[in-house]
Structure 1
Amino acid sequence: MPQTGDAVRRTGDARRTGDVVRQAGRPGFDRRLLPPMLLGSVLNPINTTIISVALVPIGTALGAPSSQTLWLISALYLATSLGQPVVGRLIDIFGPRGLFLISNGLVGVAGVIGALAPNLGVLIVARVLLGFGTCGGYPAAMALVRGEADRTGADGPGWVLTALAVANQTVAVVGPLLGGLLIAAGGWRATFALNVPLAVVAVLLGARRLPRPAETAGEDTSPRRGRSDEGTSPRRRWPVAELDLPGMGLFAAMLTCLLLFLMNPHPREWYLPVIAAVAAAGFAARELRAATPFIDLRVLGGNAPLLATYARALVAYLVAYAFLFGFTQWTEQGYGLTPFHAGLVQVPMFLLAIGVSIVSGRRKGVRGKLLAGAAGQIVACLAMLTLTGHSPLWALLLVSLLFGFPQGLISLALQNSVYFQADPERIASSAGLLRTFAYIGSMIASSAAGASFGRRADTGGMHHLAWIMLAAGVLYLLLTVFDRTLGRAAATESGAAR
């Protein structure tokens, strides 16, 4: 697939270096990195899926309707959408270790606040902190994969990328079920307290196993990623000059106003998109003339395949999260299941998604996976329209199973697309932007669920939401069918694997 001139030269240099490394008999991917990588990357999805079965108990305990408890979803995604590319850029510059430790420490703090929250407002604050805290795991994991690829000469070990995708799918299986068990055993507060031991383990693993930044030699202030030959090195001089703080601030203003409007689109909120547009214009002007931009718009604008991947992520995750949150609320309020049994209904989707990810991860290329995923989403949305409050339980399980097929294909294909399409020196921020676009899709899904259900998730509202999901599924299919760069993605991935 096409890359910018600098990116092509860097990739070519890396592959030539890789040939030398392979000939020298260097070791393969450092498997000691896997536990902190996987645990850090799954803290966000586990908090996403657990909350799906906790919304109704929280609303009952705090006297809040569905339209207000949905802010617990929106708050996390607002924070994460903003934080992922920012933390990713910091990781690109400073390396993954420090940001990984800070982020996971914040997750533990947020878990304590959420477990002790006296009202919905404090609980929303805890979710915001969770959003920022879980920003470091996934970009750090992608940066570590790229660093190990540079060190070993293996350009993108497919099994590691598949392991990341499968770990997230596995957590999605455990999330609703674990959430139901925690609520049954200790109430909804236990779903927040769970973050404390997870964060402690992540910090300990990260401190013990993640490589320290390599020492900066001479006047060179370029970022050093990956592991040095010695494994550790003296403290480096941080290149603070590479931080584009004005660009980050304008990006934050733009995205915050946009997402706040998407959470509650109404004519009286007209000023939010206006502010977002003004901030976007200022952001573009700043990035085009900055010496070290936060987001290099020239490079990004010339990378059409990566932009298309981001667009697909937005639409695909709109469908996925609308199902995760909207369908789960309906199974509890419209169908009458307990939170635990509502979590069990989600299990077939995630189990099939894991199996599909493992099997499809062995095959090169992304176009076939994306097309099959698009078709699967459309079929699943049509099946969702057939459900009523009197449908047999097996029909709910079947719909859940149908959504598992596209989930397993699409998440892996999008992740691999970004790995091979992005500038290697901006892999963490590019991975963060993938999550940002996914979370924008989730915010739209949350807004659509709130508008469809109102105060109660009834069957009519569920059908209304399913029509929105179907329209998004058709759009996703069109974005994939007419993207001719995906064929070149398969050739790049196959070449890298060799």
Structure 2
Amino acid sequence: MVSGLRRLRPGGAEGVAGGFDRRLLAPMMLGAVLNPVNSSIISVSLVPIGAAFGAPPSETAWLISSLYLATSIGQPVVGRLIDLFGPRRLFLAGTALTGIAGVVGMLAPNLAVLVAARVLLGFGTCAGYPAAMYLIRSESKRTGHKSPAGVLTALAVTTQTIAVIGPGLGGLLIGAGGWRATLAVNIPLAAAGLCLGARRIPATPTFRREDGRHPVSDLDLPGMGLFAAALVCLLLFLMNPGGGDWYLLVLTAAAAAGFTWRELRARQPFIDVRVLGGNLPLLATYTRTLLCYVVTYAFLYGYTQWTEQGRGLSPSQAGLVQLPLFATAIVVSTLTGRRRAVRGKLLAGATGQIIACALLFLLNAHSPVWMLLMVVIVLGVPQGLNNLALQNAVFHQADGERMGSSAGLLRTFGYLGAIIASAASGSFFGERADTGGLHHLAAFMLAVSVLFLAVTVADRSLRRIGADGADETSADPRTDPPPDAKDER
């Protein structure tokens, strides 16, 4: 609870006594998939968009990075707002912005406007996942269930299901209405989200300060601004690391130092770096998330571009080739979802990524389709294990009072990985996604996968998640901040 605030009982749908309120599932799932569906559809749209605007892969990579730049900044910001004010208003506002972005993208006359539409999509899709994690935590506290493993698994499987549908759906939409149809799909999704959110998410809790001040005064706007500045400078550098813009790293370091200084002194910090710094297991999870998503998104974007340009498949065929990856991930997540322990999943997931990256070296412009499918099936196993394990780790390691912002940071680190992957794909492919570029990208992915495995092996705290008798609704007591530290917030 925020110091000096008193939360009133929310008006709206009450939970079902004794169990998770299943009326919340539909808006939770729909909100959480808005970002993944745009991520997966764009993977088969990059080549047609590049052809339409005469842009090489190094330029169309901005369609990926612009969305993740906006979302990397917006996720923890919106997550913090959700922590303070509840999920309803943020969910509805974000969903509406997603629909607007769909209209702008559908009508985009050039690549610059299309990139702007992707930025709007990034901000619009920020609220879905933090809102879902907030609602899961709230329901867990209400029902007294220590670990809603089934709901967490459903959330992971839903996002992976959308990833299954995304490439194939993207190919079908391109075949039926061109690449603009892949942006227009956000309009009906946003309409459905607005309807479900308004009807089923409880009314936003009302806060009152004991001193009569509005709680918006507790927002750490300088901290949010410095956080955004540091991310923008870093990600601009990552998009063109060989361009000589080293001053961006200096600006990143300066903004990060200013952010840390501000957060250590703020009465209500945007990100409590003192508490976060004391939670080393959570920091390790964020690091693993970045490394894992570098490989995941390098494969999603780089491999898909290569199947179209290096192997000669159509966008529809390239989308169909991706289907076994996500289908395998769904099966793996479903079979292992109720097992609360995460260490074994992460070890197996890291090993699976290493094997999948190694298989990429066997591919060439004449590889048979069965080899293309074999690679994606192998990668599907770690895809199903890693996503669920990382999500569960944050749920158990994070401070419950900051679940929204902690979940947002998880996505931020994932999107940092996605931007690094996008920059790597643009760098290794240059003007065309050929087989030589794929092999160079595979070497990069293999190195990251080995580092992911090393970080996981070294983290002994993972053994406690899912251990018998552990309280799985809070961070480990040995890394939790003392009560007085929480009271200071």
Same fold (TM over 0.5): yes
Structure 1 SS opposite 2:18? coil
Preserved contact between residue 297 and residue 418 of structure 2 (Cα < 8 Å) = yes
Q: How does 1:142-153 map to 2 (within 5 A)?
A: 142-153=133-144
Structure 2 SS opposite 1:70? helix
Deviation at 1:492, TM superposition (A): 7.4
CA distance in 2, matches of 1:308, 1:266: 29
Give yes or no for the alignment of 1:101 onto 2:77. Answer: no
Deviation at 1:488, TM superposition (A): 1.4
Deviation at 1:267, TM superposition (A): 5.1
Give yes or no for the alignment of 1:344 onto 2:320. Answer: yes
Indicate the residue corresponding to 1:167 in structure 2.
158
Structure 2 SS opposite 1:295? coil
Indicate the residue corresponding to 1:370 in structure 2.
346
Change (3 A) 1:96 1:316: same
Which segment drifts farther, 25-34 or 255-264? Answer: 25-34
AA paired with 1:422? Answer: A
Preserved contact between residue 449 and residue 465 of structure 1 (Cα < 8 Å) = yes
Deviation at 1:476, TM superposition (A): 0.3
Preserved contact between residue 31 and residue 129 of structure 2 (Cα < 8 Å) = yes
Match of 2:457 among 481, 490, 497: 481
Give yes or no for the alignment of 1:386 onto 2:362. Answer: yes
Give yes or no for the alignment of 1:43 onto 2:34. Answer: yes
Indicate the residue corresponding to 1:269 in structure 2.
245
Give yes or no for the alignment of 1:26 onto 2:2. Answer: no
CA distance in 2, matches of 1:308, 1:241: 32
Preserved contact between residue 93 and residue 242 of structure 1 (Cα < 8 Å) = no
Preserved contact between residue 160 and residue 330 of structure 2 (Cα < 8 Å) = yes
Give yes or no for the alignment of 1:360 onto 2:336. Answer: yes
- Count how many residue pairs are aligned between Structure 1 and Structure 2: 461
Preserved contact between residue 36 and residue 205 of structure 1 (Cα < 8 Å) = yes
AA paired with 1:152? Answer: T
Deviation at 1:311, TM superposition (A): 0.3
AA paired with 1:103? Answer: G
Give yes or no for the alignment of 1:248 onto 2:239. Answer: no
CA distance in 2, matches of 1:165, 1:128: 24
User: Deviation string for 1:258-312 (max 9, x for gaps)?
Assistant: 0110111125211111111100110000000101100000100000000000000
Preserved contact between residue 340 and residue 465 of structure 2 (Cα < 8 Å) = no
AA paired with 1:363? Answer: R
TM-score (normalizing by structure 2): 0.92
Match of 2:74 among 78, 83, 89: 83
Indicate the residue corresponding to 2:482 in structure 1.
none
AA paired with 1:321? Answer: Y
Give yes or no for the alignment of 1:299 onto 2:275. Answer: yes
CA distance in 2, matches of 1:493, 1:121: 54
- The alignment-based identity, stated in percent, is 65
Match of 1:425 among 371, 377, 401: 401
Structure 2 SS opposite 1:491? coil
Give yes or no for the alignment of 1:450 onto 2:426. Answer: yes
AA paired with 1:385? Answer: F
CA distance in 1, matches of 2:392, 2:472: 12
CA distance in 2, matches of 1:386, 1:40: 39
TM-score (normalizing by structure 1): 0.90
CA distance in 2, matches of 1:419, 1:143: 10
Deviation at 1:217, TM superposition (A): 6.2
Structure 1 SS opposite 2:365? coil
Match of 1:316 among 288, 292, 308: 292
Change (3 A) 1:242 1:60: same
CA distance in 1, matches of 2:296, 2:102: 26
Match of 1:201 among 183, 189, 192: 192
Change (3 A) 1:494 1:392: farther
Give yes or no for the alignment of 1:285 onto 2:243. Answer: no
Give yes or no for the alignment of 1:58 onto 2:49. Answer: yes
Preserved contact between residue 374 and residue 476 of structure 1 (Cα < 8 Å) = yes
Change (3 A) 1:112 1:368: same
Match of 2:308 among 332, 335, 345: 332
CA distance in 1, matches of 2:39, 2:84: 28
User: Deviation string for 1:229-262 (max 9, x for gaps)?
Assistant: xxxxxxxx95112200000000000011001101
Indicate the residue corresponding to 1:403 in structure 2.
379
CA distance in 2, matches of 1:493, 1:394: 46
CA-atom RMSD in angstroms: 1.7
Deviation at 1:65, TM superposition (A): 1.1
Deviation at 1:495, TM superposition (A): 4.1
CA distance in 2, matches of 1:267, 1:76: 22
Structure 2 SS opposite 1:102? helix
Preserved contact between residue 342 and residue 462 of structure 2 (Cα < 8 Å) = yes
Deviation at 1:491, TM superposition (A): 2.2
Preserved contact between residue 364 and residue 494 of structure 1 (Cα < 8 Å) = no
Deviation at 1:219, TM superposition (A): 2.2
Structure 1 SS opposite 2:466? helix
Deviation at 1:36, TM superposition (A): 0.3
CA distance in 2, matches of 1:217, 1:59: 52
Preserved contact between residue 350 and residue 382 of structure 2 (Cα < 8 Å) = yes
CA distance in 2, matches of 1:45, 1:155: 28
Deviation at 1:493, TM superposition (A): 8.4
CA distance in 1, matches of 2:197, 2:390: 26
Match of 2:102 among 105, 111, 128: 111
Deviation at 1:119, TM superposition (A): 0.3
User: Deviation string for 1:140-176 (max 9, x for gaps)?
Assistant: 0000001111211113311110011000100000000
Preserved contact between residue 247 and residue 294 of structure 1 (Cα < 8 Å) = yes
Deviation at 1:63, TM superposition (A): 1.2
Structure 1 SS opposite 2:472? helix
CA distance in 1, matches of 2:470, 2:274: 27
Give yes or no for the alignment of 1:157 onto 2:148. Answer: yes
CA distance in 2, matches of 1:48, 1:456: 21
User: Deviation string for 1:200-251 (max 9, x for gaps)?
Assistant: 1101100110011234467299xxxxxxxxxxxxxxx951122000000000
AA paired with 1:352? Answer: T
Unmatched segments (≥5 aa) in structure 1: 1-5, 8-24, 222-236
User: Deviation string for 1:429-482 (max 9, x for gaps)?
Assistant: 000000000111111111110111000000000000000000000000000001
Indicate the residue corresponding to 1:17 in structure 2.
none
